[in-house]
Amino acid sequence: MSRKDVFEAELLDDNGAMTLAELARRCATDAEWLLQLVNEGILVPRGRALPEWRFSHTSIWRVRRVQRLQVDLGVNLAGAALALEMLDELESLRRRLASLESGRETGAES
């Protein structure tokens, strides 16, 4: 591949608008199982009734993470929901910690 090719990357935020079918395809799973994730509160679509449901792009990561937790660790959906919450918090704490640790020494020396 030519090194000159530049690929444009699209920033995904919480405003994406995937249908249930699209999300199922992206996660290589079936819509029925995704419904269980919605019922468990793991996925929160916008829109009232199922045909109007729209999922954010970040749902893909939540679904994939649940898939991994189920396959690799054998957790059930309620357990996966709890693990997701805690992992989210853990990651945000880790980021804050890393941010507090980085730059400190340099700042103090200058």
Partner 1 sequence: MEFKDYYQILGVERDADQDEIKRAYRKLARKFHPDVSKETDAEARFKELGEAYEVLKDPEKRAAYDHLGANWQAGQDFRPPPDWDAGFEFSGGGFTSADSAAYSDFFESLFGRGFSGGGFQRAGAHQYRARGEDHHARILIDLEDALEGRTRPITLQVPEIDDHGRVRTRARTLNVRIPQGVTAGQKIRLAGQGAPGIGDAPAGDLYLEIDFRPHPRYRVDGRDLLADLPIAPWEAALGARVKVGTPGGTVELTVPENSRSGQKLRLKGRGLAGKNPGDLYMVLQIVVPPANTDEMSALYREMAEMSDFDPRAGVRG
Least Cβ distance, residue 44 to partner 1 (angstroms): 17
Q: What is the H or E stretch that residue 60 is in?
A: helix 59-68
Q: Which is nearer to partner 1, 13 or 32 (CB)?
A: 13
Q: Which is nearer to partner 1, 8 or 49 (CB)?
A: 8
Question: Do 19 and 59 contact (CB within 8 A), yes or no?
Answer: no
d(CA 23, CA 34): 8
Q: Which is nearer to partner 1, 11 or 49 (CB)?
A: 11
Residue linked to tokens 């970040």:
58
Neighbours of 10 (CB within 10 A): 7
Least Cβ distance, residue 66 to partner 1 (angstroms): 10
Least Cβ distance, residue 30 to partner 1 (angstroms): 16
- As a whole number of Å, the end-to-end CA separation of the chain is 44
Q: Which is nearer to partner 1, 52 or 89 (CB)?
A: 89
Question: Do 10 and 21 contact (CB within 8 A), yes or no?
Answer: no
Positions that interact with partner 1 (CB under 8 A):
1, 3-13, 25-26, 28, 57-58, 60-61, 64-65, 68-69, 71-74, 83, 87, 91-92, 94-96, 98-104, 106-108, 110
